[in-house]
Chain A
Amino acid sequence: MDYKYIEQLLERYFEAETTLKEEQILKAFFEQNEEELPENLRRYHSLFAALGQEETLGDDFDERLLQMTEEAPRVKARTISMAERLKPLFRAAAVVAILLTLSNALNQSFNDNDTWVDQSDYALEQIEPAAGEPAMAYDQPTDSLVSDTLFKPTGYLE
């Protein structure tokens, strides 16, 4: 088997000319059994084995740290979506909308009732010329009286 490529890579590795990918190839190559390697490459086996050694921390470290960062649930609360966050606002908006519709509807019905007031205003206008100008009132005393008495029972002027 030809190990020229590996030898070349090794040479470039020690010159710091290899790419990350090439270094991975080297690591993978030296992962195989030491006895299967040719004599001249065998010595580098433990070198790359040392690089592959990975010390780790236990799970108890996680637990201890999560306990220390007690407020962790608060981070969770931050993940609430925009729509959810605006929910109360939507509700308030809905209530306002209902109130507006209702008041509009009420106004509408009030306005319907107001038509008779408009008519009385018209009656007042009919009287006023007589009441406002005494000369005319003298001339037409009965008319003004009649319209006055006619109007009075409604009680609107009083």
Chain B
Amino acid sequence: MKEISFRTDVLPLKNELFRLALRITLNRADAEDVVQETLIKVWNRREQWEQIDSMEAFCMTICRNMALDRQKRMDYQNASLDDVGHEAPDRSYSANPEEQAVQRDKVERVRRLMDQLPEKQRTCMQLRDVEGKSYKEIADVMNITEQQVKVNIFRARQTIKQKYIEQEQYGL
């Protein structure tokens, strides 16, 4: 039987969880809070760890649900739209050197396109294209069928491609 340790098995998942939460909340501070709450919740359930097949999927499921909860609460407060606009450019300029600004800008534009997708498509695309998860793993985390995962990814990629090409043509 494999012993699960918080420090070596759970904590290293933090960046993956953070990116997942960030795709849903679209706000770094919120995403960080979500990851923290997720890991504390996982810690508090440590008696059940031995019955868990995949710690990663377990953490991701909790993380996604918490991020969705928080997002719902935020929506009630009617603050989200403005936040998205401000958050995105901030991230690119503060985190990267100036010389690659043009390239960064393009990347940032793709990111924003992704952020505009419906949550399910966004999460599916994040888990598949960024984290490299199989359809089955994504289906487990999101509690939907593999077929639905595939459909969501298909729609997400199609939308991104379409909007991206549109932007290029109009030079936005």
Q: Do A and B come from one complex?
A: yes
| Chain A interfacial positions (CB closer than 8 Å to B) | 13-16, 20, 23-24, 34, 43, 46-47, 49-57, 61-62, 64-66, 68-69, 72, 75-76, 78-79
Q: How far, in whole Å, are A52 and B111 apart by their CA atoms in the complex?
A: 11
B130 within 8 A of A: yes
Q: A66-B7, A69-B40 are in contact. Are A50 and B111 (CB under 8 A)?
A: yes
Q: How far, in whole Å, are A23 and B133 apart by their CA atoms in the complex?
A: 11
**Residues on A with beta carbons closer than 8 Å to the beta carbon of B154:** 15-16
Of the A-B pairs whose beta carbons lie under 8 Å apart in the complex, a sample of 27, sorted by A's number, is A15-B154, A16-B154, A23-B129, A46-B107, A46-B109, A46-B110, A47-B161, A49-B103, A49-B106, A49-B107, A50-B110, A50-B114, A51-B130, A54-B15, A55-B22, A56-B15, A57-B14, A57-B32, A61-B35, A65-B14, A66-B11, A68-B36, A68-B43, A69-B40, A69-B43, A72-B7, A75-B7
Q: How far, in whole Å, are A121 and B12 apart by their CA atoms in the complex?
A: 83
Distance in Å: Cβ of A21 to nearest Cβ of chain B: 10
Check A43–B168 contact: CB distance below 8 A. Answer: yes
Q: How far, in whole Å, are A77 and B165 apart by their CA atoms in the complex?
A: 57
| Chain B interfacial positions (CB closer than 8 Å to A) | 3, 5-7, 11, 14-15, 18-19, 22, 28, 32, 35-36, 39-40, 43, 46, 103, 106-111, 114, 128-130, 132, 134, 150-151, 153-154, 157-158, 160-161, 164-165, 168
Q: How far, in whole Å, are A62 and B6 apart by their CA atoms in the complex?
A: 11
By beta carbon, the residue of chain A nearest B40 is A68
Check A75–B46 contact: CB distance below 8 A. Answer: yes
Q: Secondary structure of the A side of the interface?
A: helix
Check B153–A16 contact: CB distance below 8 A. Answer: yes
Find B3's partner among A20, A56, A62, A78 (CB 8 Å cutoff).
Answer: A78
Check A20–B132 contact: CB distance below 8 A. Answer: yes
Distance in Å: Cβ of A25 to nearest Cβ of chain B: 12
By beta carbon, the residue of chain A nearest B156 is A16
**Residues on B with beta carbons closer than 8 Å to the beta carbon of A64:** 36
Distance in Å: Cβ of A15 to nearest Cβ of chain B: 7
Q: A16-B157, A79-B3 are in contact. Are A53 and B107 (CB under 8 A)?
A: yes
Q: How far, in whole Å, are A142 and B153 apart by their CA atoms in the complex?
A: 122
By beta carbon, the residue of chain B nearest A76 is B5
Check A23–B132 contact: CB distance below 8 A. Answer: yes
Check A62–B11 contact: CB distance below 8 A. Answer: yes
**Residues on A with beta carbons closer than 8 Å to the beta carbon of B6:** 69, 72, 75
Check A55–B19 contact: CB distance below 8 A. Answer: yes
Check A43–B22 contact: CB distance below 8 A. Answer: no
Q: How far, in whole Å, are A62 and B35 apart by their CA atoms in the complex?
A: 11
Distance in Å: Cβ of B137 to nearest Cβ of chain A: 10
Q: How far, in whole Å, are A47 and B18 apart by their CA atoms in the complex?
A: 21
Check A61–B36 contact: CB distance below 8 A. Answer: yes
Q: How far, in whole Å, are A50 and B35 apart by their CA atoms in the complex?
A: 22
Check A61–B32 contact: CB distance below 8 A. Answer: yes
Q: How far, in whole Å, are A57 and B18 apart by their CA atoms in the complex?
A: 7
Q: How far, in whole Å, are A46 and B50 apart by their CA atoms in the complex?
A: 42
Check B18–A55 contact: CB distance below 8 A. Answer: yes
